[in-house]
Structure 1
Amino acid sequence: MRHSSSSHTPSRASSADPAEHRIEQGQCGDAHQHDAGRRSIRYDVFDPREVVPEFTADVGLKKGEKIDYAIMRDSEVQMLVECKSSTIPLDLEDASQLFRYFAATNARIALLTNGQVYNFYTDLDAPNRMDDKPFLVLDLTDIDPVLVAELSKLTEETFDLDSVISAAEELKYVSQIKRAIGTEFREPSDDWVKFFTARVYAGSFTQKVREQFTSLVAKAASQYLNDQVNGRLKTALGTSEFTSAEVSGDLKPKQHSSDATENEVDSNSDIVTTPEELEGYAIVKAIGCSEVRPERIASRDAKSYFAILLDDNNRKPIARLHFNHRTQKYIGVFDADKNETRHAIGSLDEIYQFAEVIRASIRGHL
């Protein structure tokens, strides 16, 4: 169903969200993921003055083609959005109409998403022609706070297109360089290996030398990152001030009546935070971005679960990740009385099914 661009606003009670309808048919990714994306920039999908679903702008000989969303401001198209299935990687070869519509409308921003990854494009390389590479890539499983700050300029409340465009070039190249560096750190290319080998080895760069230094460069890069992290931790711990009672262990943690507000973090050194826990935390943080600033959503790891809290406060639990079981993962969510209910999940993506409960928990602490 396509909404008219007239001033009539559909009733929330009687009108189904067109995006949800397409999503259920597998055309637009996962419903909960796209819900998080739409809410993150706070446009009302039920108001055709803000969002026009299945937007039509005939291009040349092609008639009747539709793009998933057009985001409007002052009756002008500002952003074009095309959604793909959450099960496939994003590929511009499957988004040809996004290129055509970008050139045929006044839009300066194009968005291609599969519900998890959001690629933002503009026309830095040639006027009125969408770039081949995005200037901003937002991954809900690995959120960069710097990008969230830039994304806020595209929200309905603080829309600032000129500021976004002016920052787009730097964002584009800095992001690409960061990804390139990350790739080199994980899997050093021959050029990267040769670059460092030439600085420490005077002999010829033979096949045997290349194989030897490939592992050495990767190991050195990993150790360098660890040294940087450890240095920051030592600095932070060294500047912390403790009372003599705290150092001697005379102070005991306060006990609270509610299970959800107990001191939840063990001080034992054998606690290991896993990549899956960090990924789950990133998903919960992405969901909560619609309610509070991302930096307010904190985490604390314990032996039996990974706690996610508002304002790093034990009295404000948002969720718990119970990922220590060998065969089954659970997410714990809280009701208004801070009672936890655990739910089994088969994959981290299923955390999105509890998006509304997570948001309600956050709102309950505000």
Structure 2
Amino acid sequence: MENFVDQIKALSRRIQKIKDNIQTEEATKTSVMLPFFQILGYDIFNPEEFVPEFTADVGIKKGEKVDYAILQDGKPVILIEAKSIQDILTKHDSQLFRYFGTTTAKFAILTNGIIYRFFTDLDEQNKMDATPFFEFNLFDIKDHQLIELSKFHKDKFNIENINTTAAELRYTNEIKKFLRTQWDIPSDEFVSYILSEVYSGKKTKQIIEKFNGIVKKSFKEFVNDMLNDKLQSALANTKEQDLTVAETAVSQVAVEPEQQEVVTTAEEIEGYITVKVLLQEIIAPDRIHYRDNLSYFNILIDNSIRKWVCRLYLNNNNKTITFNDENNTSVKISSVSDILTYKEKISEVAKRFL
């Protein structure tokens, strides 16, 4: 599994470097898609296993072809519709939909080489669902999605096993999408549902509008409280260990006057641990390091100065955090706990170095 994950992440980094030079569907197939399916364990040069231009006749139309089919025991089990890396996938769904019902395949993949959408027939047997049960984005890799993707590896592929989790995956993703929408702009229906549990008065349109902002604020505060609780628990478990490491590092600094002035504070270590916790879903904690300087505290990936994620300026009253983005954006913070509000920004920067 570890080797599989490393290969997927390496492919992601490679595609990000070359994507602007990929202008056609054929170039997308050769440069992006075929390496992806090789990582999944398929022999792309074996026509008994991986068939390009697979014939999938539709009704009275003969000679209809799908870009690729993965075979098992001589029969197609996965159909793959490939589009250019420049394309938006939504407009092509119906084309793959036509192919699905004409073969024995149980799964279909629609992809532009970056996003891979996995379909099956949960709603009606032998008819491809309109909604994918799983989506994998090479430019936004999440650990739990790698586990699901690995189920499509040749060595692990099992139709029954995938089918048992497909429905749960699909509805989990739909619920998360719904909650994300409500997080940004709560709908009247959502606000009304919340009010039915906490408000005894009549839920008029004016009341719903009045409570919309309150619900949104409560939602965000609840999530922040949960995150804070998790962070404090993580801090309690790791702070003592990291402080010991920091003290050891400081004590080992050569006794030169300039270097002796660099003192790593408990507040800086807390900031370092906070960033580690925020990034734990996308990067292993042991890859995150720090280097303290006279003027700022650097947080790095792989202990490489070229991969700095953010810099903390905590040694005076004007505390700030600077992000390693195109503009080296800096924002003021009142305390280390404010770093929590920048999880998305910190993750965005860190993903550039994965």
Indicate if the aligned counterparts of 2:50 and 2:68 stay in contact, CA closer than 8 A: yes
Give 1:85's aligned residue. 84
Indicate if the aligned counterparts of 1:33 and 1:115 stay in contact, CA closer than 8 A: yes
Q: CA deviation at 1:64?
A: 2.5
Q: CA deviation at 1:37?
A: 3.6
Give 2:10's aligned residue. none
Structure holding more helix per residue: 2
Give 2:151's aligned residue. 153
User: For residues 244 and 95 of structure 1, what CA distance do their matches in structure 2 show?
Assistant: 50
Q: CA deviation at 1:245?
A: 8.0
Distance of aligned partners of 1:184 and 1:39 in 2 relative to their CA distance in 1, 3 Å threshold: farther
Q: Does 1:105 align with 2:92?
A: no
User: For residues 211 and 289 of structure 2, what CA distance do their matches in structure 1 show?
Assistant: 39
Q: CA deviation at 1:241?
A: 7.0
Give 1:14's aligned residue. none
Indicate if the aligned counterparts of 1:111 and 1:121 stay in contact, CA closer than 8 A: yes
Indicate if the aligned counterparts of 2:134 and 2:169 stay in contact, CA closer than 8 A: yes
Give 1:47's aligned residue. 46
Letter in 1 for 2:89: L
Distance of aligned partners of 1:100 and 1:305 in 2 relative to their CA distance in 1, 3 Å threshold: farther
User: For residues 89 and 142 of structure 1, what CA distance do their matches in structure 2 show?
Assistant: 16
Indicate if the aligned counterparts of 2:23 and 2:84 stay in contact, CA closer than 8 A: no
Give 1:167's aligned residue. 165
Q: For residues 326-347 of structure 1, what are the alpha-carbon distances to aligned partners after superposition, in whole Å with 9 as ceiling and x for unaligned?
A: 4489xxxxxxxxxxxxxxxxxx
User: For residues 209 and 148 of structure 2, what CA distance do their matches in structure 1 show?
Assistant: 42
When the two structures are aligned, how many residues end up with a matched partner?
284
User: For residues 190 and 244 of structure 1, what CA distance do their matches in structure 2 show?
Assistant: 47
Distance of aligned partners of 1:252 and 1:49 in 2 relative to their CA distance in 1, 3 Å threshold: farther
- Structure 2: gaps (5+ residues): 1-18, 254-263, 310-322, 330-347
SS, match of residue 160 in structure 2: helix
Give 1:65's aligned residue. 64
Indicate if the aligned counterparts of 1:68 and 1:83 stay in contact, CA closer than 8 A: yes
Distance of aligned partners of 1:144 and 1:130 in 2 relative to their CA distance in 1, 3 Å threshold: same
User: For residues 125 and 245 of structure 1, what CA distance do their matches in structure 2 show?
Assistant: 54
Distance of aligned partners of 1:134 and 1:296 in 2 relative to their CA distance in 1, 3 Å threshold: farther
Give 1:186's aligned residue. 184
Matches within 5 A, 1:1-366: 24-26=23-25, 34=33, 37-91=36-90, 93-240=91-238, 242=240, 246=244, 249=247, 251-252=249-250, 267=268, 298-299=287-288, 307-309=300-302, 314=303, 320=307, 324=324, 326-327=326-327
**TM-score, normalised on structure 1?**
0.63
Distance of aligned partners of 1:45 and 1:250 in 2 relative to their CA distance in 1, 3 Å threshold: closer
Q: CA deviation at 1:109?
A: 0.6
Q: For residues 105-138 of structure 1, what are the alpha-carbon distances to aligned partners after superposition, in whole Å with 9 as ceiling and x for unaligned?
A: 1110101122232211111222211111111122
Q: For residues 134-166 of structure 1, what are the alpha-carbon distances to aligned partners after superposition, in whole Å with 9 as ceiling and x for unaligned?
A: 111222333343332222121012222221012
Indicate if the aligned counterparts of 1:154 and 1:161 stay in contact, CA closer than 8 A: no
Q: CA deviation at 1:191?
A: 0.7
Q: For residues 251-305 of structure 1, what are the alpha-carbon distances to aligned partners after superposition, in whole Å with 9 as ceiling and x for unaligned?
A: 53878xxxxxxxxx994667797xxx97xx99xx7xxxxxxxx869955577787
**TM-score, normalised on structure 2?**
0.65
User: For residues 33 and 251 of structure 2, what CA distance do their matches in structure 1 show?
Assistant: 41
User: For residues 56 and 104 of structure 1, what CA distance do their matches in structure 2 show?
Assistant: 10
User: For residues 328 and 30 of structure 2, what CA distance do their matches in structure 1 show?
Assistant: 24
SS, match of residue 101 in structure 2: helix
User: For residues 305 and 65 of structure 2, what CA distance do their matches in structure 1 show?
Assistant: 39
User: For residues 244 and 88 of structure 1, what CA distance do their matches in structure 2 show?
Assistant: 46
Letter in 2 for 1:67: V
Indicate if the aligned counterparts of 2:67 and 2:81 stay in contact, CA closer than 8 A: yes
Distance of aligned partners of 1:245 and 1:124 in 2 relative to their CA distance in 1, 3 Å threshold: closer
Letter in 1 for 2:224: N
- The more displaced of 53-62 and 35-44 is 35-44
SS, match of residue 115 in structure 1: coil
Distance of aligned partners of 1:170 and 1:269 in 2 relative to their CA distance in 1, 3 Å threshold: closer
User: For residues 82 and 297 of structure 1, what CA distance do their matches in structure 2 show?
Assistant: 39
User: For residues 325 and 244 of structure 1, what CA distance do their matches in structure 2 show?
Assistant: 27
Indicate if the aligned counterparts of 1:67 and 1:97 stay in contact, CA closer than 8 A: no
- Structure 1: gaps (5+ residues): 1-19, 256-264, 286-293, 330-347, 359-366
Distance of aligned partners of 1:181 and 1:59 in 2 relative to their CA distance in 1, 3 Å threshold: same
Q: CA deviation at 1:182?
A: 2.0
Distance of aligned partners of 1:85 and 1:176 in 2 relative to their CA distance in 1, 3 Å threshold: same
Q: CA deviation at 1:180?
A: 1.4
